[in-house]
Amino acid sequence: MSIAGRTSHDTSLRDFMVPMRDGVRLATDIFFPDDTSGGPWPVILERTPYDKRVPRANEYTVAHPGVFGREELVKFFTEVGFVVVLQDCRGRYGSEGHFVKYRSEAEDGFDTIAWIAEQPWCDGQVGSMGLSYSAHTQLAAACLNPPALAAMICDCGGFSNAYQGGIRYGGALEMKQVTWAYRHALRSRAAADDPVIRSALEAMDLREWIKRMPWKRGYSPLSPTPDYENFLFEQWEHGKFDDYWKIPALYATGWHQQMRAVPSVHLSGWYDPYASSAAENFNGLHEAGHDVSLILGPWTHGNRSSSFAGDVDFGDEATFEAGLGMDFVRFRIDLFRHHFKGSASPLASRVNYFVMGGGDGRRNEQGRLNHGGRWHFSEHWPPEQATPVELYLGPEGSLSAEPAAIDSVERYNFDPEDPVPTIGGPITSGAPLMFGGAFDQRENSDAFGAKAGDLPLASRPDVLVFETAPLEKAVTLVGNVSVTLFVSSDRPTTDFTAKLVDVHPANEDYPEGYGMNLTDGILRACYRDGFEEARPIPPGEIVELTIRLYPTANRFEVGHRIRLEISSSNFPRFDVNPNFEAGDDLSPIRLRAINAVHSGPQHPSRIETCLLVED
């Protein structure tokens, strides 16, 4: 009998308790190839807070649209000679200890990989895979350089910098952390063990609680589970980029240069909140000399075998299968075989990315806008075939490749009690308040906080609109996107948001046209000079700031317009700035701000991205 308690006839072990450095034991299931006379074998590890026994909703393919059962999926890997190890994260389901979201995953992952490598059934090679949180656990462990780690597939996750994507973004809190904490408090050990706690949580109306911001410790929908309330408030209260954020579990960028050169694939979608992390990890690890690849499709979180995101369809070519020539199960098997056994790589290019656009703009049989698109390939991100381009904001809402000849200013009133409602975007874990994907940017009854029936967001007085004339030839923009603004405000702190939109012209299906969101971002203006110090906006002064948007790739067809929408809120995607004091995100004092965007020769407000010239 080995350390793991396995006899020579066992093909699986359930709930084996693997000890961590502090004595806490984590529940672990181990699945072996059926031919138990073989071995030792390479091992594939997935660590999860979502119950290692439960199927993952993203584990489907075009040919198998139903979700694979957990053991059904495992079988694909054991049949070709891998051991598969599934583990509950600390404090979740079968594992001991207290769950504090993210913060112990580097050390626990390192210890688990070290334990696996000591087992007689492991050949010394451990690969890792998993979506979302299970991708975060991979990169966190890799920062500590476990010697046996031999390959990673980080699917829609793996924090490059959680302060700048995943927990906070541009200084604002991503409110998906709130909806996630509430949903998983309901599934917590405390709720399972105590029916009073569970009943208290179930009685909460999250939609009503979200309307009553800011929350207070002890008076929130998470108060029945103090552990969950505490980690959420810690994320909220650490508004600056301080030492709280600079740990391996949250800040792989700080470890890129010292990480062992472990081959890795980083996979995400244009409507996934981890597209920025995927691109940043690719670039950081590539610069450090790693064998690293990047795949970016037109997908929401984990839905790589779907052709649509939200209310927009990108055609049959949009799936992972169409872009990579195989489904994601076969891809993972072939990639691990490549790194463990020297077989051919399933990747012909280092970067595989999908350029949205090219469809006819009509409504398809499923009721979605046909936007179309196709795959492109490169060796770098942004693609080496693309060149930098700037589009300048100008008077009367103009947007042009030529800088404005005259100075102008656009002002609006930002009321924290009436924020701009979120309509799609790179969102996950947002239910029941918000959903990811591409949508016509109009208020509707499904949008939390919408008040104006079916009117466009662009019609709101607190949304500034800058757009091109109808295009005379197609324009393809790809890569990272940023918006530099020259702004002023009558408050010492406020937010500025930016959203890039492809405006389809009117047709019989969409008689008012269709404003399709491509990417967006936010900046808490007190962090315009860096995130380690909150600096008030000087009264009466115009200051320069840059909003970092998520990466994207889109072809704007002839007759379309390129639109930039500027405002100061995008709720409930991000928390709302109370406009009171710099750095005080949870102030109960919420004040209106008069904000302004300046453009022209003295204040060249602009979009910066890359232009791809296509055939």
Does the pLDDT value for residue 2 go beyond 70?
Answer: no
556 in Cβ contact with 474 (< 8 Å):
yes
Q: How many Cβ atoms sit within 10 Å of the Cβ of residue 409?
A: 15
311 in Cβ contact with 465 (< 8 Å):
no
Q: Tell me whether residue 2 is in a domain.
A: no
One DSSP character per residue, 562-610 reads EEEEEES--BTTBPPP-SSSTT-TT-S----EEEEEEESTTS--EEEEE
CATH of the domain at 152: 3.40.50.1820
Does residue 506 share a domain with residue 570? Answer: yes
Q: What is the rounded distance in angstroms from the CA atom of residue 604 to the CA atom of residue 548?
A: 17
Q: Tell me whether residue 148 is in a domain.
A: yes
Q: Determine the angle formed by the axes of helices 105-118 and 133-142, rounding to 10 degrees.
A: 70
Does residue 145 share a domain with residue 18? Answer: yes
Q: Tell me whether residue 347 is in a domain.
A: no
> Which of 305, 331, 353 marks a domain boundary?
305
Going through 178-303 in order, the beta strands assigned E by DSSP cover 264-271, 292-300
Query: What pLDDT, on a 0 to 100 scale, did the predictor assign at position 615?
Result: 66
Range of the structural domain that residue 57 is part of: 12-161+245-305
Does residue 432 share a domain with residue 490? Answer: yes
State mean pLDDT over 377-394: 98
Q: In this structure, which amino acid lies at residue 543?
A: V
263 in Cβ contact with 291 (< 8 Å):
yes
Does residue 568 share a domain with residue 479? Answer: yes
Give percent above pLDDT 90 in the chain: 95
Does the pLDDT value for residue 161 go beyond 70?
Answer: yes
Q: Enter the tokens of residue 366.
A: 């499923």
Distance of CA 436 to the CA centre of its chain: 10
Burial of 222 (0-12, 13-18, 19+ CB in 10 A): buried
**Of 460, 485, 469, 457, the residue nearest 398 (C-alpha):** 469
Backbone torsions φ then ψ of 155, nearest 5 degrees:
-100, 110
Query: What pLDDT, on a 0 to 100 scale, did the predictor assign at position 36?
Result: 74
**Of 224, 235, 318, the residue nearest 270 (C-alpha):** 318
Confidence at 9, pLDDT banded by 50, 70, 90: low
Confidence at 4, pLDDT banded by 50, 70, 90: very low
Does residue 443 share a domain with residue 392? Answer: yes
Does residue 418 share a domain with residue 495? Answer: yes
Tell me the per-residue pLDDT of 408-432, one tens digit each, with 9 for 90 and over.
Answer: 999 999 999 999 999 999 999 999 9
Tell me the per-residue pLDDT of 308-332, one tens digit each, with 9 for 90 and over.
Answer: 999 999 999 999 999 999 999 999 9
Does residue 403 share a domain with residue 486? Answer: yes
Does residue 258 share a domain with residue 294? Answer: yes
> Which of 305, 320, 354 marks a domain boundary?
305
Q: What domain count does the chain have?
A: 3
Tell me the per-residue pLDDT of 529-543, one tens digit each, with 9 for 90 and over.
Answer: 999 999 999 998 999
- Edge-to-edge strands, sheet with 308-309: 308-309, 312-313, 369-370
Tell me the per-residue pLDDT of 220-256, one tens digit each, with 9 for 90 and over.
Answer: 999 999 999 999 999 999 999 999 999 999 999 999 9
Does residue 449 share a domain with residue 301? Answer: no
Does the pLDDT value for residue 453 go beyond 90?
Answer: no
Q: How many residues does the chain have?
A: 615
Query: What pLDDT, on a 0 to 100 scale, did the predictor assign at position 444?
Result: 87
> Which of 305, 329, 356 marks a domain boundary?
305
Does residue 429 share a domain with residue 297? Answer: no
Q: Tell me whether residue 310 is in a domain.
A: no
Average pLDDT, the chain: 96
Q: Tell me whether residue 378 is in a domain.
A: no
Going through 75-121 in order, the beta strands assigned E by DSSP cover 83-88
Tell me the per-residue pLDDT of 253-310, one tens digit each, with 9 for 90 and over.
Answer: 999 999 999 999 999 999 999 999 999 999 999 999 999 999 999 999 999 999 999 9
Q: Tell me whether residue 568 is in a domain.
A: yes
Q: How far apart are the first and last CA of the chain?
A: 63
Does the pLDDT value for residue 7 go beyond 90?
Answer: no
Give percent above pLDDT 70 in the chain: 98
Does residue 212 share a domain with residue 275? Answer: no
Confidence at 446, pLDDT banded by 50, 70, 90: confident
Q: Tell me whether residue 319 is in a domain.
A: no
Does residue 125 share a domain with residue 67? Answer: yes
Q: Tell me whether residue 4 is in a domain.
A: no
Query: What pLDDT, on a 0 to 100 scale, did the predictor assign at position 35?
Result: 83
